[in-house]
Amino acid sequence: MNSYLKEIADQCGITKTLTFQIARHTFATTVTLSNNVAMETVSKMLGHKDLKTTQHYAKVLDAKVGKDMSELEEKLAINKVNLSQAKP
């Protein structure tokens, strides 16, 4: 499997060493989690029985944390406005 990944990397001009392990990490973080796929779904896709195993692969990216916090801030601001407009 790793030799096929090396061939693909060579054809794509990727100079970093590519391995099956690195591909799983990339899939878990960059492809799924940073696109809002639930950790439980990623776990199932990777064939893990224990969510802790997936958490090892799926390092949460700093950008994802920032994006999630921005979305939470927006939701809280909307709720605050809705509450202030509500009349008893």
pLDDT at res. 42: 93
User: Taking the complete model, does pTM exceed 0.75, yes or no?
Assistant: no
Query: H or E element: which one contains 18?
Result: none
Residue found under tokens 């029985």: 49
User: Considering its fold, how many domains does the chain have in total?
Assistant: 1
Average pLDDT of 1-12? 91
> DSSP code of 16?
S
Contact, 1 vs 20, CB < 8 A?
yes
Q: Which residue range(s) make up the domain with 70?
A: 2-85
Evaluate if residue 18 carries a pLDDT over 70.
yes
pLDDT in tens, 28-78: 888 998 888 999 999 999 999 999 988 887 777 777 788 888 999 998 988
pLDDT at res. 46: 93
